[in-house]
């Protein structure tokens, strides 16, 4: 006997241990089952040093934001304008850095040297660069 509430008539009961929130239907995707040597099953976590801003940029922007917060009591409008400038500058720096990383990854496969052929190893390294970059973006 289970502690689950009874389903209304006509609704099939889920087997014991079944996740009621699991995706259903023809397009439902179930989590991949990891097999031995399966590198795609669990993507590596982003490196601890894989920040979108360099430490000196973070320190400068944090200092500027703290300065903006300190001014709020005396001049709220200026505080908000200064905070907006900090965020705009952070976005610009992050965007420029991401573009540089994307260009580096793309140049390794889209602009082949020599005979124009790109080898599997170059493609593997490019894919790794893209994976690392995407994980940095998606890390939150």
Q: Per-residue pLDDT tens, the chain, 140 aa: give them.
A: 445 445 445 544 444 444 444 444 444 443 444 444 444 434 444 444 457 888 999 999 999 999 999 999 999 999 999 999 999 999 999 999 889 888 888 888 886 666 777 888 888 998 999 998 888 888 86
3-state secondary structure 67-126: HHHHHCCCCHHHHHHHHHHHHHHHHHHHHHHHHHHHHHHHHHHHCCCCCCCCCHHHHHHH
Hey, what are 46's tokens? 């982003």
Q: What's the CA gap between 124 and 39, in Å, rounded? A: 13
pLDDT of residue 32: 41
Averaged pLDDT score across all residues of the chain? 74
**What's the pTM value of the predicted model, to 2 decimals?**
0.57
pLDDT of residue 133: 87
């Amino acid at each position: 006997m289970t502690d689950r509430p009874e389903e209304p008539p006509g609704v099939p009961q889920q087997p014991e241990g079944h996740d009621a929130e699991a995706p259903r239907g023809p397009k439902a995707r179930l989590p991949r089952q990891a097999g031995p040597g399966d590198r795609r099953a669990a993507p590596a976590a982003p490196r601890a040093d894989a920040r979108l801003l360099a430490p000196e940029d973070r320190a400068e922007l944090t200092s500027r934001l703290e300065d903006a917060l300190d001014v709020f009591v005396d001049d709220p409008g200026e505080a908000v304008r200064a905070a907006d400038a900090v965020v705009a500058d952070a976005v610009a720096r992050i965007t420029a850095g991401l573009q540089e990383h994307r260009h580096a990854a793309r140049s390794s496969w889209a602009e082949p040297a020599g005979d124009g052929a790109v080898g599997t190893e170059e493609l593997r390294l490019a894919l790794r660069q893209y994976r690392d970059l995407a994980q940095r973006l998606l890390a939150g």
